[in-house]
């Protein structure tokens, strides 16, 4: 069970509250200098000294089916070209960190962080869509090393 402050518990269980809980996303990749940070709110948010830009986004949770790889669909409003440029210029899927914070106390994480990968990205003039999930093990090449090109990894073969 997550340890949360007494004020958070009171706000969560209250019939009415002035506390505002918002989701924050950080999309990063080793090939980009600055991560893309957004908050699902109407106002920007400062968290850990970093500015999270107010951008509408939503999640579509996966179905409860055992025979499918579970992924969460995400749709982010394409309010600036920053994320599209980032997606175009990287060679592999970016990492996404997702957490829930309060607007009046953003340093305290209420839930998360959840670390995922952003796969199957598509975009148009209005939205950017993708699938959040764990690294897909079924798409990894096998064997990882190539015998012909890396003999130092397999000294007994050469």
Which of 51-65, 67-81, 131-145 shows the highest mean pLDDT? 51-65
Dihedral sign for Cα atoms in the order 91, 97, 102, 107: negative
| pLDDT tens-digit series, residues 96-137 | 888 989 888 888 888 878 888 888 888 888 888 888 876 555
**70 and 62 Cβ atoms separated by less than 8 Å:** yes
Q: How many CB atoms lie within 10 A of CB 81?
A: 10
> Is there a domain that residue 25 lies in?
yes
Q: How many CB atoms lie within 10 A of CB 116?
A: 21
Q: What number of residues does the chain have?
A: 158
> Is there a domain that residue 105 lies in?
yes
| pLDDT tens-digit series, residues 130-144 | 888 765 555 555 555
**77 and 126 Cβ atoms separated by less than 8 Å:** yes
| Element at 82 (helix H, strand E) | helix 82-89
Q: How many domains does the chain have?
A: 1
Give yes or no for residue 22 having a pLDDT over 70. Answer: yes
> Is there a domain that residue 130 lies in?
no
The whole domain housing 39 covers: 6-56+79-117
pLDDT of residue 14: 81
> Is there a domain that residue 151 lies in?
no
**How much is the pTM?**
0.70
């Amino acid at each position: 069970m997550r340890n949360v402050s007494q004020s958070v518990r009171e706000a969560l269980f209250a019939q009415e509250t002035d506390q505002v809980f918002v989701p924050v996303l950080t999309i990063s990749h080793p090939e980009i200098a600055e991560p893309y940070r957004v908050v699902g709110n109407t106002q920007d948010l400062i968290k850990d000294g970093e500015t999270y830009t107010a951008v509408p986004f939503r999640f579509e949770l996966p179905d409860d089916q055992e025979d499918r790889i579970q992924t969460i669909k995400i749709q982010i409003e394409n309010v600036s070209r920053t994320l599209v440029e980032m997606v175009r210029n990287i060679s592999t899927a970016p990492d996404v960190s997702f957490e829930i914070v309060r607007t009046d106390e953003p340093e305290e994480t209420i839930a998360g962080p959840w670390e995922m990968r952003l796969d199957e990205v598509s975009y148009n003039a209005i939205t950017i869509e993708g699938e959040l999930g764990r690294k897909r093990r079924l798409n990894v090449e096998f064997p990882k090393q190539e015998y012909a090109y890396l003999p130092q990894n397999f000294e007994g073969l050469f």
